[in-house]
Amino acid sequence: MRRLQVLICRGPECGQKRRSAEVHAQLLRCLRERPLENVEVELAWQSCFGHCTQGPNVLVRPVLPGENSFRLSMMPALAPGAVLYHGVRPLDVERIVQDYLQRGRSSAERTRNKDPER
Ligand code: FES
């Protein structure tokens, strides 16, 4: 079984200003309604990725056997295969996870244009 970790930023910009809790709730709903086949998804919060003006930010990464989970919890963007998505809307998040699973890091790098008024 493949394992993925999805970290959603809940820092002051992503969380309060750009409502990342809606992204989290949408992904949780999708995973409950349509679980992924042979993929275990760990959904968690992150306090900040340092890309605050580009939020809501969501990081997707593989969870690898034997990895140093403490170090990665401090610097998840440095994890092998990690992709940080910017400007994620609730309706984007399921597609992002599917896209990541299907295509992997090389083609998954993307930054949406952001509406700063959202
Ligand atoms: S508040 Fe989300 S990246 Fe900083």
Span 2-108: which CATH code? 3.40.30.10
Return the DSSP state at 35: P
90-113 residue pLDDT tens: 999 999 998 888 875 444 444 443
Nearest CA to ligand 1 atom 1: 11
Closest listed residue to residue 22, CA positions, set 71, 83, 85, 92:
92
Encoded tokens for 28: 């949780």
Which of 49, 58, 85 gets mutated to test ligand 1 (max ligand atoms within 8 A of its CB)? 49
**How far does the centroid of ligand 1 lie from the alpha carbon of residue 57, in Å?**
7
Which of 13, 16, 45 gets mutated to test ligand 1 (max ligand atoms within 8 A of its CB)? 13
Q: Which residues of the chain fall short of a pLDDT of 50?
A: 105-118
Pairing assessment for the beta strands 83-85 and 58-62 based on DSSP bridges? antiparallel
The pTM is what? Answer: 0.85
Domain ranges of the chain: 2-108
